[in-house]
Amino acid sequence: MVKHHPPADFLTEYAAGVLPMAQSACVAAHLSYCQRCRHIVERLEDIGGAHFEQLDPQPVGDSMLDRVLARLDDPEPLRYARSEASDDRLPGLLDRLINGDYADLAWKRVTQSLSISYLKTGDLDHEFALYRIAEGGKIPEHTHGGSEMTLVLSGGFSDESGEYHPGDFIVREGWDKHTPVALEGEECICLAVLDAPLRFTRLRHRWLNPLIKLNAG
């Protein structure tokens, strides 16, 4: 059962369509696991739709119509539509971005226990990446220069604040400090969305900090 959820303001901004692409994709992936949050978003969308219907119609000029028609042949954009997660199907946009299996991705080894695979969503302000932590391995203690959304996709991990399993959604701010440790039994794979690179705090790992850049796009 999913125990950790996006804050209410994230769900509201998601329903209103104002979250950046990468963050929206992460929230949508969580909704694939979480019936509770799906119901909340559906109610918010209904409320928003009712307010929209009460607005006075606005005229649309010929130039707007021309721009829409000119884009009919554009490639289909990435979508963050919700879909049910299962053992053999990744949630939402991830299924399209990965187009295969985790093993088919290009993984960059950062430490002995941590590898990262960077995915592209077109969001120029947020990194959208998969973190793979070896069974029982840890990500060294770190902070962030900005915010971080994390969604557990498989396995699980614990840190100073609790224990997390598939579907759990965690938000960390720049001042938060933690040391994620993968649970025993299998490796942990998480989706992470960042607007600034993580920064290791322990002396033995600080030399890595200049090498870690934000891979947005």
CATH number reported for the structural domain that contains residue 171 in this entry? 2.60.120.10
Q: Please give the angle made by the CA atoms of 110, 213 and 178, to the nearest 5 degrees.
A: 60
Residue 149: inside a domain, yes or no?
yes
Residue 85: inside a domain, yes or no?
no
Provide the residue range defining the domain that includes 187: 94-211
Residue 32: inside a domain, yes or no?
no
pTM of the model: 0.83
Residue 188: inside a domain, yes or no?
yes
Residue 28: inside a domain, yes or no?
no
Residue 199: inside a domain, yes or no?
yes
* CA nearest neighbour of 190 among 164, 212, 208: 164
Question: How many domains does the chain contain in total?
Answer: 1
Residue 146: inside a domain, yes or no?
yes
Asked if 216 contacts 127 with a C-beta cutoff of 8 angstroms, the reply is: yes
Q: How far apart are CA 66 and CA 123, in angstroms?
A: 26
E-only strand ranges, the chain:
108-109, 114-119, 127-133, 142-144, 148-154, 157-159, 162-164, 169-172, 181-182, 188-194, 198-200
Adjacency order of strands within the sheet including 108-109: 108-109, 114-119, 127-133, 188-194, 148-154, 169-172
Residue 16: inside a domain, yes or no?
no
Q: What are residue 122's phi and psi, to 5 degrees?
A: 90, 0
Could you tell me how far CA 133 lies from the centroid of its own chain?
Answer: 17
pLDDT in tens, the chain (217 residues): 899 999 999 999 999 999 999 999 999 999 989 999 999 999 998 887 776 667 677 777 778 777 777 777 766 555 444 555 544 456 666 777 777 778 888 999 989 999 999 998 889 999 999 999 999 999 999 998 889 999 999 999 999 999 999 999 999 998 899 999 999 999 999 999 999 998 999 998 899 889 888 999 8
3-state secondary structure of 64: helix
Q: How far apart are the first and last CA of the chain?
A: 33
